[in-house]
Amino acid sequence: MSQPPHITLLDASELKVRFNDNEVLKSASLTIRDGDHLGMVGRNGCGKSTFLKILAGIAQADDGKVTLRSGLGIGYLPQGLDASDGVSVLDTIRDGAAHSFNLLDEYESLPADSNRQTELEQQIAAADAWNIETRIETAMMHLNTPAADRLMGTLSGGEKRRVALCRSIVSNPDLLILDEPTNHLDTDSIEWMAQYLKKFRGAFLVATHDRYFLDEICNHIVELQAGRFHTHKGNYSDYLESNLARMENEQAIELKRKRFLHRELDWIRRGPKARTTKAKFRVDKFHSIKNTQSPDRELSMDLIIPPPGQLANRVVDLINVSLELGGRKLIEQFDFKFEAGMRIGICGRNGLGKTSLLRIVLGQLAPTGGSQKTGVLTQFNYVDQERVQLDPEKTLLQEVAEGADTISFGNGKLAIRAYLQRFGFDPKRINMKIKSLSGGEKSRLLLARILKHGGNFLIMDEPTNDLDLPTLRLLEEALLAFSGCVLVVSHDRYFLNRVCTGIIAFEGDGLVAYNEGDYEYYREKLAERKMRLAKPPVASQANAGSSRAPEAKPRKMTWKEKAELEGMEAAILKDEEAVARLESLFADPEFHSKHGVKTIELTNELETAKKHVAALYARWEELEAIRAANEKA
């Protein structure tokens, strides 16, 4: 299905969409070519999801045109999955690859002398349909989907989201359109998804707020601003640089325009008596430049958290806490003492007990072992976007005000309207109904509603889901300035690195580990622990004699070695996935009928892949030893 480079897969031209008085798309145009790895960014409510729905054929624009390459296969991940409650997880995922299964069913039902056999074999090979079952199993494992026989009606919103993502990628389409694919994924699943997209042979357009994800996967960033697209070459970091340059250029042009208008206005007001042709030209030019549209300005935001009250010496103490639920050991003998000024991040795979730990801290769930003690001055504020719901028929003002005109803010009061404006809501839209908001705007409104209650111990469960990048940056700044205690569950690596002073990590089998520092520092320490466990014990040299020469000073790592070490985990993951793929081929009961002629070739390929993985691990250990020696020195 992959095409030669630069083949146009999809062309969206001059799309216009208006919702009541809000024109979200104003002549928006975008061309997607084979090999394009596009990340889409933009403020909540700017029209990103609407644009993606139009490309996927789910919605129509008021004006404009979308042209698709003939036979283009599209995989689409919406923000909400519309699946029947009575259908199993596996059947829902398999439905995403219905085309591949239809080809296989037709092939198996063909008579032995059918003329269509060769054509079907070509179509099956082009769709990689021979390996569809392996792709489904691999995706389900790495995306941590619920059990295959679970019914969709029994799943949580996050579980449905993972099923929907799995469903969208298993068909191996020419073009992937993904709306917030990292929401409700743990860090391991996000990293696997990044590796999958980097190796994806088609094109993709991804709308996401995950900045590390955008940095890893994209070769272009498209920004939707004021209804139009601005394209930036490179990843997210490159986008930040080019966007800054574009904004500075626009500001310089606007400043030049204003200076011209001031000069010409002064000339016109002097009222020269002789209106010559040249004078008329100056007046016409003045009005022409005056009517030139100035650069669009985003609504300013300054996300605020009410100042916290004082905390006592004891905030919350967890004393030898253990927890078992449903026969599973989630936490085993975990001790921790929360203190004022701490900003603790919680990470780990889904289902290991992160939310349960939050409930223990809150006093909502009793541990099966150990105890929790709360300080006398501790006031919790729990941001849980799953359980707290918005009323779609209420206005923004009604939902947040809850009958009041102001909120308590430190020793004073703050008007609700001013509070909402600080969260980026235009005063003109404060009286509109919530059902008209985008998913991201609803998340921001929910954040505003919960945070207004104050508290000095802020507990947040996945607060970054559906927030746009400007709001994320402001939330990070607000948490950095918060003088109380913060405990946050998040899979956003950038967010954890920016905000956290320590990481509580769920590592499985009841092991809960704490590390001071940000998420990247925790990952470094985790790698070191794994290396120590993997190393055989070194023979003691205590009796080797005192005549041994002093140890040489360790050499410094070269820049190339540092870069190699940083990319080592990704390289190992890539090669281990290659080994897993080959092993799954041999495990297939129909291996000999499908791949019998390639048995020797595939066996050699598997052995080579295994040797390469072993060599990478050895090199990783060598580089880690050099780095550790440097740190010790």
Q: Which H, E and C letters describe 52-104, residue by residue?
A: HHHHCCCCCCCEEEEEECCCCCEEEECCCCCCCCCCEHHHHHHHCCHHHHHHH
* pLDDT score, position 546: 47
Output the CA–CA distances (angstroms, integers) from residue 178 to 10, 206, 487, 526, in the order listed: 15, 5, 30, 31
With 60 as the cut, is the pLDDT of residue 5 above it? no
Predicted local distance difference test score (pLDDT) of residue 545: 47
Encode pLDDT of 460-483 as tens digits: 998 887 788 888 888 898 899 899
At residue 9 the predicted structure's pLDDT band, cuts being 50, 70 and 90, is very high
Give the pairing type, strands 228-233 and 380-384: unpaired
Q: What is the pLDDT of residue 553?
A: 57
Residue 595 has pLDDT above 80, yes or no: no
pLDDT in tens, 328-355: 899 999 999 999 999 999 999 888 899 9
Q: In whole angstroms, give the CA distance from residue 143 to residue 627.
A: 33
Helical packing angle, 187-198 and 157-169, nearest 10°: 20
- pLDDT value for 541: 47
Beta bridge pairs of residue 408? 413
Axis-axis angle for helices 187-198, 132-142 (nearest 10): 140
Higher per-residue pLDDT: 330 or 544:
330
Cα radius of gyration (the chain):
29
What pLDDT does residue 88 have?
A: 93
* pLDDT, average across residues 301-329: 88
Highest-scoring range by mean pLDDT, 230-234, 402-406, 562-566: 230-234
For residues 41-67, average pLDDT? 91
Lowest mean pLDDT among 20-29, 223-232, 367-376, 490-499: 20-29
Whole-number Å distance between alpha carbons of 129 and 116:
17
> What mean pLDDT comes out for the span 381-385?
81
Higher pLDDT, 565 or 484: 484
Angle CA 35–39–41, to nearest 5:
155
pLDDT of residue 276: 52
Indicate the range of 191-205, 323-337, 568-582 predicted with least confidence. 568-582
The answer on pLDDT for 596 being more than 70 is no
Count of all residues that appear for the chain in the document: 633
DSSP three-state, residue 142 = helix
**Confidence (pLDDT) at 497:** 92
* Backbone φ and ψ of 621, nearest 5°: -60, -40
For the record, the structure tokens of 94 come out as 């398999």
Q: Whole-angstrom Cα distance, residue 162 to residue 142?
A: 10
Here the tokens at position 28 are 């928006």
Give the pLDDT confidence of 492-543 residue by residue, as tens digits. 999 999 999 999 999 988 999 999 999 999 988 888 888 887 766 555 444 4
**What Å distances lie between residue 530 and 247, 563, 570, 575, 624, CA to CA?**
46, 20, 16, 19, 11
Question: Cβ(58)–Cβ(80) under 8 Å?
Answer: no
Rounded to the nearest 5 percent, the helix, strand and coil shares of the chain are: 45, 20, 35
- Provide the mean pLDDT of the chain: 83
Whether residue 597 is predicted with pLDDT greater than 80 in this model: the reply is no
Span of 130-139, 360-369, 573-582 with lowest mean pLDDT: 573-582
Question: How confident is the model over 110-134, as pLDDT tens digits?
Answer: 887 788 888 888 888 888 888 889 8
